[in-house]
């Protein structure tokens, strides 16, 4: 499981992010948060999270200044900016500092989900994990859950849904994915969807938007971004190479 740290100088917004964003579904644990960016800097240096989500406009230190301070102190992690401001200079500064993505407030769950899926792919690439055990978990109940996902990966599948359907707690499901597949639910789903997408691209008569829907993505732009992060190539580029 990857670790995340959140910084926003409005406590209500911070609490909402922690409570409503599907961290566990995507293989993340929120290891810390703070409304004071200077205190946050100290905690981030100590905790060394995989990703920091931060606001842009904060009292005492802007999000871009926080990133600059952390990078100068040797902190190596990904950064996602969540801001109500889309000023060109602010966005440019963020990406010049190798920021991963910039999300505008009010945050839509579909937007954050897209970022989390791509973020997990990036983190798995730069922090390689063990190969997944493709021969089954030797846990019959969990194998049944996996078979359900394999048969329904184009549908919306969440930890809540699986917990209710199979009678497992969400934490237990996460632990099983980690133990037997060394991954998270979202990573497992993404891999299934991307493999299926590549197979569908062999049919050049299929529309890309239809392929996206068949793979479980309501919006083509989300499918495109995840596909490109996964294969380091756009769907059209892959078609041209076939």
Q: Which helix (H) or strand (E) holds 101?
A: strand 101-104
Q: Is 195 helix (H, G, I), strand (E, B) or coil?
A: helix
Locate all alpha helices (DSSP H) within the chain, ordered by sequence.
Answer: 11-20, 37-47, 63-72, 88-96, 109-126, 140-152, 159-166, 170-176, 185-200, 208-214, 220-231, 235-241
Edge to edge, the sheet with strand 51-54 lists 28-34, 2-7, 51-54, 78-83, 101-104
157 φ/ψ angles, rounded to the nearest 5 degrees: -120, 125
Distance of CA 116 to the CA centre of its chain: 2
Cβ neighbours of 161 (radius 10 Å): 14
pLDDT per position as a tens digit, 218-239: 889 989 999 999 999 999 999 8
pLDDT per position as a tens digit, 113-135: 889 989 988 898 887 654 444 45
DSSP bridge pairs for 51: 4, 78
In this predicted structure, the answer to whether residue 83 has a pLDDT above a threshold of 90 is no
- Fold annotation for 2-126: Rossmann fold (3.40.50)
**Res 181: pLDDT:** 86
Give whole-number Cα distances, 203 to 207, 208, 218, 219, 222, in Å: 9, 10, 20, 20, 21
Spatial distance between the Cα atoms of 209 and 197, rounded to a whole number of angstroms = 11
User: Beta strand 51-54 with 28-34: parallel, antiparallel or unpaired?
Assistant: unpaired
- Secondary-structure class of domain 188-241 per CATH: mainly alpha
On the 0-12 / 13-18 / 19+ scale of CB atoms within 10 A, 27 is: buried
pLDDT per position as a tens digit, 167-207: 999 999 998 998 888 888 998 999 999 999 999 999 988 99
């Amino acid at each position: 499981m990857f670790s995340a740290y959140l910084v926003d100088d409005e406590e209500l917004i911070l609490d909402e992010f922690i409570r409503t964003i599907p961290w566990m579904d995507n293989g993340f644990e929120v290891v810390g948060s703070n409304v004071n960016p200077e205190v946050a800097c100290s905690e981030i240096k100590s905790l060394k999270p995989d990703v920091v989500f931060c606001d842009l406009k904060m009292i005492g230190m802007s999000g871009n200044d926080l990133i600059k301070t952390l990078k100068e102190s040797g902190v190596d992690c990904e950064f996602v900016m969540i801001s109500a401001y889309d000023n060109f200079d602010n966005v440019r500064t963020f990406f010049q500092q190798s920021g991963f993505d910039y999300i505008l407030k009010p945050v839509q769950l579909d937007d954050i989900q897209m970022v989390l899926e791509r973020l997990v792919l990036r983190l798995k690439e730069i922090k390689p994990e063990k190969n997944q055990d493709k021969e089954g978990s030797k846990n019959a109940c969990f194998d049944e859950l996996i078979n359900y996902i394999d048969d329904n990966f184009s549908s919306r599948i969440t930890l809540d849904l699986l917990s209710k359907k199979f009678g497992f707690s969400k934490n237990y499901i996460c632990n099983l994915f980690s133990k037997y597949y060394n991954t998270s639910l979202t990573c497992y789903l993404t891999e299934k969807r991307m493999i299926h997408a590549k197979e569908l691209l062999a049919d050049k008569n299929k529309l890309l938007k239809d392929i996206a829907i068949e793979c479980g993505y309501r919006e083509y732009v989300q499918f495109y971004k995840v596909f490109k992060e996964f294969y380091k190539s756009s769907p059209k580029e892959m078609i041209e190479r076939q």
